[in-house]
């Protein structure tokens, strides 16, 4: 008996093989665990508790802005004239805090763990000039 395998290299033969591979991959998915397990829920809770402690330590929302997860926290901060604002980079990549849009002032690159402070006399929009979608606002009450 002669087995003719020439169809496998023909146009239709390739599609037959591809379909077979896709079907056999999908059949493995039934054994996967649910997307959110109890352990994940517990970890999320622990993260929330941890960030509450960080907030208390760093006076976030008073005069300290924490950079974490590619965001400024808080995004908007109300200050008294002459207050000193501190930016602290708690993220895993460098960021900066720069006047938006002209970089009239800038912290320069802040490595993870570094901080920078500036005395503020008026309201500003600012951003991270390394990741230009990261934005924040400082409001100085007159």
Query: Is residue 130 near Cu ion by the rule CB under 5 A?
Result: yes
CB of 82 to Cu ion, least distance (A): 27
Print the binding letters for residues 75-114 with Cu ion: x by CB under 5 A, - otherwise.
--------------------x-------------------
Query: Is residue 131 near Cu ion by the rule CB under 5 A?
Result: yes
Cα–Cα distance measured from residue 5 to residue 48, given in angstroms and rounded to the nearest whole number: 60
- Determine how many CB atoms are found less than 10 A away from the CB of residue 70: 13
DSSP E strands, the chain: 64-68, 71-73, 76-80, 83-89, 98-99, 115-120, 124-127, 135-141
Query: Is residue 73 near Cu ion by the rule CB under 5 A?
Result: no
Question: Which residues of this chain interact with Cu ion, rule CB under 5 A?
Answer: 95, 128, 130-131, 134
């Amino acid at each position: 008996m002669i087995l003719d395998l020439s169809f496998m290299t023909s146009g239709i033969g390739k599609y037959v093989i591809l379909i077979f591979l896709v079907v056999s991959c999908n059949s493995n998915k039934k054994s996967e665990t649910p997307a959110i397990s109890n352990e994940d829920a517990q970890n999320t809770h622990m993260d929330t508790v941890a960030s509450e402690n960080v907030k208390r330590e760093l006076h976030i929302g008073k005069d300290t802005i924490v950079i974490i997860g590619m965001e400024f926290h808080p995004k908007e901060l109300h200050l008294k004239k002459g207050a000193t604002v501190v930016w602290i980079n708690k993220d895993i990549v460098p960021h900066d805090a720069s006047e938006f849009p002209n970089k009239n002032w800038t912290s320069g690159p802040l490595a993870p763990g570094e901080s920078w402070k500036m005395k503020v006399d008026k309201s500003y929009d600012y951003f991270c000039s390394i990741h230009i979608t990261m934005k924040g606002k400082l409001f100085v009450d007159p």
